[in-house]
Amino acid sequence: MRVEGVVFDFDGLILDTEGPVFTAWQEEFVAHGCAPMTIEEWSLEIGTVGGLDLVEMIRTRATIPFDEAAMHERRRVRRDELLAREVARPGVHEWLDEADGLGLPVAIASSSPIEWVGEHLDQLGLRHRFAAVACFGDGIAGKPAPDTYLAACAAIDVEPRAAIAIEDSPHGVTAAKAAGLWCIAVPHAITARLDLSHADLRLSSLADTTLRDVIAGRERPGRR
């Protein structure tokens, strides 16, 4: 089938926000005398909304007095300090350039609020590269529900089955497939350990290949 559009996830895919967010929370667990979170525990939070009640987890496990307001302030400062060191993940700029060259509309489908995604796109200088940004909120459910992908495809006027999704998490792949998109998994350091076998293709990095080559494989006769 001919590819007519591309939909990117944001967190962990365009920008590695996942590592800084996880590290900042993990440091709070340790600071309050809790055992560190496992990747299996954290995986419930990746790519979705409200997967874990992290505050309650610290509160119930803490062996050191817990001040929620102070914890959040310290955690956010640490998160933002780590985020400031991040740049767009390898291959992102090149794939966006290729999409432009091929005349393919590009959108974002994210479980994060529009304010979070928009702020980071502005900092990266990438907001203008996306024709639409579909985020959790205003009646749009977060992943693994298909809503963000359906909204993104509608916004760029592309049928989901004619679009490629690019994801980094199991919840994201589930959402893309439920919406009817062909999905590429490009995990980061954390999600590389999780089960992404339900994706149609897995890459270690967008820099490993080109969008053109992926599309050629997708459009090969016999592929649906």
Enzyme catalytic residues? 9, 11
DSSP states along 109-176: EESS-HHHHHHHHHHHT-GGG-SEEEESBTTBPPTTSSHHHHHHHHHTT--GGGEEEEESSHHHHHHH
**9 closest CA partner among 157, 158, 181, 222:** 181
The two beta strands, 132-135 and 201-202, are unpaired
Angstrom distance (rounded) from CA 196 to CA 109: 18
Q: What angle do CA 110, 111, 112 make, to 5 degrees?
A: 90
Angstrom distance (rounded) from CA 224 to CA 205: 24
Q: Is the dihedral of CA 113, 94, 102, 186 positive or negative?
A: negative
**Residue linked to tokens 């990095």:** 205
